[in-house]
Amino acid sequence: MAKKQILVVDDSAFMRKMITDILSASDQLEVCGTARNGEDALKKLIEWKPDVITLDVEMPVMDGISTLQEIMKRQPTPVVMLSSLTKQGADKTMEAMSYGAVDFIAKPSGAISLNIKDIQEEIISKVERATQVSHFRWLPAEKAVSTKRKNTYKAIQSDHPIVAIGSSTGGPRALQDVITGLPAGFQAPVVIVQHMPKGFTKSLAERLNKMSALHVKEVAHGDVIEKGHVYVAQGAKQFKVISAGTQLIADVKESEPVNGHQPAVDVLFESIASIRHCHPIAVILTGMGSDGTNGLIQLKKHHPRTIAIAQSEASCVVYGMPQAAVKTGLIDYTEDLNDVSDVLIQKVPNKR
């Protein structure tokens, strides 16, 4: 099988060399070229037509965000961003995800990370994953109008709905579409697990909060889970929802990864399954793997009226997590991304 061709873009010659060496250790990948800045990258994009591009966020001449936007205009290609662990780096990474980047890698010690080899396994894994992105296409950041005929869904008969969302690769962009589609006064809390490291989840929540009619925050231990609010799991911590009297409370603690994930969708879903008085609506969006499937099984077991929604294959960046959920036979609705928020609005009863 022919190796997938990778273009490495970084202003540091050291980083270009190190990333090239790391990717060359994979039997699936081959670096077809490198570029020292955005302008250089755009020239080589046309010349080499790579399968995936690794793109540094901070560069002179043309930075990573501007380069990404031009890539998506000229020749849409799966892009994996490389960014620093700083707050500015996280904010720019979340911006890049909204412009079409499929994933990102956090450099362990700044722009020139001498210890970049420490995350060799992560770099190879994420770039290999990006080569598996199916039906890659660039969609404008604004919520697109679906051409599909709108269905009418009956509202659930419950005063205690809770929407739980799981996502991974391609998730930040998908979450933007779903959360910005919900109206002010939405009569259910929304809890989210997005696979993402520490520091980046706060930037994701802040970005969604600026764009949404709802209040979005990175969840903190002890938060009261309220209607009309959105809670994003912290990176490197597990997020559970527990019942305390008439209230739902966030239990956020560093724990063991579940199937390699912390936070894990399964952990969130299973915690909601153990709550007696609630009507769960589970949403599984784009992502690699099967996280969320075991949790969905528990939700349906303990709350048979759970509404389960999976993102359609055609609208996923990676149809892994939704596909695994669909295979259980427990999914009630498979929806294009643009329609997920519409289903949620119809399912959650208006204020009485």
Instruction: Look at the chain and count its residues.
Output: 352
Q: Which of 278, 275, 263 is closest to 227 using CA atoms?
A: 278
Q: Is the peptide bond before 263 cis (omega within 30 degrees of 0)?
A: yes
Q: Are strands 247-253 and 238-244 parallel, antiparallel or unpaired?
A: antiparallel
Q: Nearest-5° angle of CA 145, CA 146, CA 150?
A: 120
What radius of gyration do the chain's Cα atoms show? 20
Whether residue 74 contacts residue 81, with contact meaning beta carbons closer than 8 Å, is answered with no
Give catalytic residues, as residue numbers.
168, 195, 291
Q: Which two tokens stand for residue 232?
A: 């994003």
Q: Which amino acid is at 213?
A: A
Whether residue 295 contacts residue 265, with contact meaning beta carbons closer than 8 Å, is answered with yes
User: What is the rounded distance in angstroms from the CA atom of residue 321 to the CA atom of residue 293?
Assistant: 7
